[in-house]
Amino acid sequence: MSDQRRWVDRLLRIAESVEDGVDLVRHEIRDRLGGKRSLRVVAYRSYGTPRRVRVVGRVLRDEAVAPSVEGASSWRNLVDTYRRFETDEVPGARVAVDVGGVRVEASADREGYFERDIDLPNPVAPGVHEARVTLLEPRGDAPVTTIARVHIPAATARFGIVSDIDDTVIRTDATDIVRMIRAVLLGNAHTRLPFPGVAELYRALRAGPGGACDNPLFYVSSSPWNLYDVLDELFALRDIPPGPVLLRDWGFDAEGGGLPTRHAGHKRAAIARIFETFPALPFILVGDSGQEDPEIYASLMRDHPRRVLAAYIRDVHPEASRRDAITRLATELAAEGGTLVLTPDTAAAALHARQHGWTD
């Protein structure tokens, strides 16, 4: 290990300890002042197979942010954004998960997150299943439960779709830091708009040729879990097909390698796990040119031959040199039997999918 890496690791461990200390002091002050906040369990959409499902969530001690209101002021949105990120997590919390006729327990990590893969003795039917999550420890004044929705692909599925979110589904302007911060901090589910045609394309891909495939759709993004409720609400408002949403923790993690887990590492690992869970399904990948999607998808194509039908990359980067680099990458992949398409808009991707028989 290099001296530079040792110093980085040392600083991360210090930062992690400071974060834990601040959380502890904040909890003690709040409790002594009689300011205890309600316990709640947040469950995220996840996925599984008829015999094995995954439940993911977080235990927090705060009040949930109310659904957004159309026409809300920038100040109101900023306050709501602050509340989403000023989380009061409950490390070490224990939950019980009831699904498919079985009950298992899971423990939260230091940031309050829990995840559990659950083997089912009796296979369940495809569809969206509800797992009941109950908080066991700590105990609140009243029982704390919530529902986790687990998506199990249909037997009729011909392929799966994995999509990025920022600058792929919704305009975020990640290449312009000022505009991106304004959109995230001062906007809400009503102000953040999808690109034209996205909802229609994703509904067509989900339906597949003939309209009855019910292909599974997964959203994998490097956005923090703190924005999950905004994305879930936005998808419902804009009629974008729902599916498992896999975001990442933006907290300090010295053991995991930094603050936070790198964009490429998180996304590559999440998609590889989806591939492994559904070994019989090929996939269509959708991303954008703003960050590393082309390189991540190319890596997945090379690591998992014949698993990717095509990768669509929305051209959002302002520099011609970035387009040239992606075009060269696409040429390399074509020589290896892969398909990566740099598209100016959603319509171009929709046309390519229709020409290849993946949609009607």
pLDDT per residue as tens digits for the range 69-128? 999 999 999 999 999 999 999 999 999 999 999 999 999 999 999 999 999 999 999 999
The CATH number of 160-355 is which of 1.10.287, 3.30.300, 3.40.50, 3.30.420? 3.40.50
> How many angstroms from the chain centroid is the CA of residue 178?
23
Distance CA 136, CA 6 (A): 39
Calculate mean pLDDT across residues 319-324: 96
- Cα-Cα end-to-end distance for the chain: 54
Domain boundaries, the chain: 39-152, 160-355
Distance CA 5, CA 336 (A): 36
pLDDT per residue as tens digits for the range 136-181? 999 988 999 999 999 999 999 999 999 999 999 999 887 788 888 8
Decide: 41 and 69 in contact? Cβ < 8 Å: no
Cβ-proximal residues to 237 (8 Å cutoff; 6+ apart), any chain: 189, 190
Would you state the pLDDT for residue 173?
84
Distance CA 308, CA 298 (A): 10
Write out the two tokens for 178. Answer: 């000022």
> Percent of the chain scored above 70 by pLDDT?
86
Q: How does DSSP classify residue 65?
A: P
Calculate mean pLDDT across residues 338-344: 98
Write out the two tokens for 298. Answer: 């190319």
DSSP letters spanning 255-272: TTTBSS--HHHHHHHHHH
What pTM value is reported for the model? 0.88
Fold of 39-152: Immunoglobulin-like (2.60.40)
pLDDT per residue as tens digits for the range 5-40? 344 344 334 434 444 444 554 455 454 544 456 999
Distance CA 316, CA 19 (A): 36
Q: Which run of H or of E encompasses 10?
A: helix 3-32
pLDDT per residue as tens digits for the range 169-178? 999 887 788 8
- Answer whether residue 219 shows pLDDT above 90: yes
Q: Supply the mean pLDDT for the chain.
A: 89
